[in-house]
Structure 1
Amino acid sequence: MGRATALAGVCVLSAGLAVAQENNAPPDNAADSGFNIPANVKLLGKMDPNSRHATAKVNGQIITGTDVDQRVALVLFANNGAKITDEELQDLRLRVLRNLIDETLEIQEAKAQKIEVTKDEVEQAYQRIATEKFKQTTAEFDKQLRAIGSSPASYKRQIEGELAWNNLIQRNVSPFINVSDEEANELFQRLQASRGTAEYRIGEIYLSSTPETRQAVAQNAAKIVDQIRQGGSFLAYARQFSEASTAAVGGELGWIRLEQLQNPTLEAAVQQLQPGQLAGPIEIPGGFDILVLIDKRQIGMPDPRDALLSLKQVSLDFPKGIAEADARAKAAAFASALQDVHGCGEVDAAAAKLGAQVVSNDQVPVKGLPDQLQQTMLQLNVGQATPPFGSLNEGVRMLFMCGRDDPKSDAGPSRAELQSQLEDDRVGKRAQRYLRDLRRDAVIEYEE
């Protein structure tokens, strides 16, 4: 449907509303929306629910169906190849199209403000992502993107959009945000008074909504949550769909106290989470939030998981094709034989008698161990060992603690760091308003 047809439909709908208003009282939220919409709306025009817009023209710049397909492929790739239904795929395409429209508006505004993102900047960021995140050369990453149905150009366009928007905000928004020393000092004093209380590292996906779009946005948010719980990458979904300023860094809010969320509902939700768990979608003023608890610690107190351990791992491989019952018997004999080892000085000799292998490491952070082992290690004294663990394929293992360097006390964020956090929050809110203004003033045409 072209823009002219869409405008004609709006005119018909407006006429219908004018007739309907004569006999219907406005709903409770009419004053909030400012539109005085009657409770019993009668649509005089029809909208085909099966109509899907494949392309759009944003201020004259075309977004093609191929652009959408390639960006969808990126999302599915980040979702670890999880299967989605045809309906979910259609919804994903619509969300990606909306995201591409925003991205186009951001790039256009940056160029209009004579803020250019150079090709070299994009290429350097692309190379850094390929090598640091995906552990590949750019040529290998190019090949992988094409193999999943996307393209290097699509990924680089996303990078360009993020850089353009960030540069635009840094020039047109950030310089005009001010947080006084008094505000930072007040927050610093509150933090000092709260030493020993919990601090949270949180990721967010924020989706804005209006009364008219509330139901659709809620449904989209619920689908995003389902896809993340099925193995999708929170970071990737935040980058693609979040409307918060943290989208470019995968939704990362950093370490904050719950009061900094400034919403009792969000605070209560996060308090119930364990690291790695999701909360949401949670309705908040202006939209919906999806949160993930990345980590948790005590303010101003050392995190015991930052301790560095000196460990010896003793491992015994199982013969290929061994029956599970036989493996259990060997594991029990292995654990029994090592039970009488007193300290790491006896480990090597005991392992040699069993035909087991020993690996030593003196700089192992507790956080670097699997979640299932972290709490066990924190409860061990020097010279003690974990219970045996393993599988039929990996054999059986035990870890002996040979030493432990506890972390030093954390003084918490400085006044300058707190001031920066407050500024970032205000910049993010102003950036959201900036993007809403760009959408409002845009000329967007949709074509089948």
Structure 2
Amino acid sequence: MISAKARTGIAAVALTAATIATAQTANAPAQDTGRNSTSALNLPQNPTVFGTPIPSVVKASAIVNGEVITQTDIDQRLALLAIANGTEIPKEEAERLRVQVLRNLIDESLQIQAAKAAEIEVTDADIDRTVARVAQNVNQKPEELANFLKSRGSSIRSIRRQIQGEIAWSRLQRAKIESQVSVGDEEVKAVIDRLTASKGTQEYRVGEIFLAATPANQAQVLANAQKITAALRQGGSFVGYARQFSEASTAAVGGDLGWVRPEQLPEQLSAAVRQMGPGQLSEPIPVSGGFSIIAVQDTRRILTADPRNAVLSLKQVSINFPRGTTNPQAQSTLARFSQAAQNVGGCGGAEKIAADFNGDVVQSDQVKLRDLPPALQQMMLPMQVGQATRPFGSLEEGVRILVICGRDEENADNAPSADQVFAQLTEERVNMRARRYLRDLRRDAVIDFR
């Protein structure tokens, strides 16, 4: 098996060789020998073909200021989206998504080209470090990640290109946009004053997918946004779709806007967010310059202590069952394990339970209650130090309990600092200017669709 990059190189060499051969044949004198040119090969008339098909010829789908984007580039990036979603993309959606992926690749090319024109360099070492982090996040080495991507129709080349685009665009924004954005002390003070006046009201952890639109293509962009929303409601990854399709600068972090107060958002988004709860997704919302899809990931109250912000010290006791154990067979052990958890007798009892059940103990400090799965959050909110959860897990992957060894509650005064407010206001203005900058790059580009 060979990589997509190698296949592209081989196709280019083959094309060159074929062109030379054609020219040589055209210049040669005509000879009519009266015999079939393949007769010496003694070929069968109805051959049986073995092996795998030769990869199709890579065709250009667009040329952006002289830089070629191939159908292979599109297919491999589409495969990345399928990997992010953890599911195959339906055939009826594939063609629509190919169009959107091509637009993203065009924008990516423009961003990389603009960075190069500004003498901003993204080195292989920069990309290698990010690839290593991506691989580490899925418990793989970069070589294993490359094989994984290849086995699913994508390639390490595709993800490296995406990383290059994100780094280049981020550095270009810092060099060209952030230096021109100013936020005054009075503006920061005004935000802090509003927050103080809003003590006890809700703030939200929000994700956004922004799709730019003009009066000419507004209907088409809205239709695309509605299809993305439908895919997300069917279980699609918001982070995956945001990274691939969002045209906001937050695309690189999966559309995450962080913790925001409604008054910090545009009016249309603010009104929608106030009506939403954790885990809810909006319909496409018309905003200045396009449409936004909003996801509320969590909520909390401004300047008010939230018990879910408690930081825990935990001991986990896990027990395993032989492969093939059925639920009826495990019931007796599970009942004894549950009873032992109720009578754990403090954090020090975890080791005794593990010894009694031939289990394992893992200690973990600085665990945020908010970061635990929702079901465990609800179970552990009223629990005190020294208590253990009910058993949870599965017979296949192990059943476990968590014992609370320590609990540090949040300080009620969680007001953001002036520096934090300054950073958020700056980011919002950089985001707006970045959209305009990319719009100008598109307007000035020479793009040839094939």
Question: Normalized against structure 1, the TM-score is what?
Answer: 0.78
In structure 1, distance between residues paired with 2:353 and 2:121: 66
> Is contact 2:338–2:391 with CA below 8 Å preserved after alignment?
yes
Find out whether 1:406 has 2:409 as its counterpart.
yes
Deviation per CA, 1:9-64: give whole Å up to 9, x if none. Answer: xxxxxxxxxxxxxxxxxxxxxxxxxxxxxxxxxxxxxxxxxxxx960122232211
Quote how far apart the aligned CAs of 1:191 are: 1.4
Quote how far apart the aligned CAs of 1:286 are: 2.5
| 1:126 aligned residue | 131
For structure 2, list consecutive stretches of 5 or more residues without a partner in the other structure.
1-58
Question: Cα 1:355–1:165, aligned 2, differ >3 Å: closer, same or farther?
Answer: closer
Deviation per CA, 1:131-186: give whole Å up to 9, x if none. Answer: 3x333222222222222222222222222222222222222222111111111111
In structure 1, distance between residues paired with 2:289 and 2:296: 22
In structure 2, distance between residues paired with 1:266 and 1:83: 31
| 1:212 aligned residue | 216
Q: Percent identity?
A: 51
Of 261, 275, 278, which residue of structure 2 is paired with 1:275?
A: 278
Quote how far apart the aligned CAs of 1:346 are: 5.8
Quote how far apart the aligned CAs of 1:341 are: 5.7
Count of residues paired in the alignment? 391
Mean Cα displacement is larger for which, 228-237 or 168-177? Answer: 228-237
| 2:361 aligned residue | 359
Quote how far apart the aligned CAs of 1:347 are: 6.2
Moved over 6 A (4+): none
| 2:166 aligned residue | 162
In structure 2, distance between residues paired with 1:385 and 1:228: 36
Aligned partner letter, 1:70: Q
For structure 1, list consecutive stretches of 5 or more residues without a partner in the other structure.
1-52
Of 68, 77, 84, which residue of structure 1 is paired with 2:74?
A: 68
What is the CA RMSD across the aligned residues, in angstroms?
2.8
> Is contact 2:60–2:68 with CA below 8 Å preserved after alignment?
no
In structure 1, distance between residues paired with 2:350 and 2:129: 49
Alignment of 1:263-412 (within 5 A): 263=267, 265-313=268-316, 317-318=320-321, 321-328=324-331, 330-332=333-335, 334-336=337-339, 339=342, 343-344=346-347, 355=357, 357=359, 359=361, 361=363, 363=365, 364-394=367-397, 397-412=400-415
Quote how far apart the aligned CAs of 1:75 are: 1.5
| 1:114 aligned residue | 119
Quote how far apart the aligned CAs of 1:94 are: 0.5
In structure 1, distance between residues paired with 2:166 and 2:319: 49
> Is contact 2:305–2:413 with CA below 8 Å preserved after alignment?
yes
Aligned partner letter, 1:75: L
Quote how far apart the aligned CAs of 1:417 are: 1.8
| 1:21 aligned residue | none
Question: Normalized against structure 2, the TM-score is what?
Answer: 0.77
In structure 1, distance between residues paired with 2:350 and 2:270: 48
In structure 1, distance between residues paired with 2:350 and 2:143: 46
| 1:235 aligned residue | 239
Secondary structure of 1:136 counterpart: coil
> Is contact 1:79–1:228 with CA below 8 Å preserved after alignment?
no
Mean Cα displacement is larger for which, 217-226 or 359-368? Answer: 359-368
> Is contact 1:383–1:400 with CA below 8 Å preserved after alignment?
yes
In structure 2, distance between residues paired with 1:269 and 1:169: 29
> Is contact 2:354–2:361 with CA below 8 Å preserved after alignment?
no
Question: Cα 1:446–1:398, aligned 2, differ >3 Å: closer, same or farther?
Answer: closer
Deviation per CA, 1:351-390: give whole Å up to 9, x if none. Answer: 76x6464636362432343220112111113344433434
Question: Cα 1:383–1:218, aligned 2, differ >3 Å: closer, same or farther?
Answer: same
Question: Cα 1:394–1:433, aligned 2, differ >3 Å: closer, same or farther?
Answer: closer
Find out whether 1:103 has 2:105 as its counterpart.
no
Deviation per CA, 1:324-370: give whole Å up to 9, x if none. Answer: 34544554454456555654566666776x64646363624323432
| 1:420 aligned residue | 423
Aligned partner letter, 1:366: L
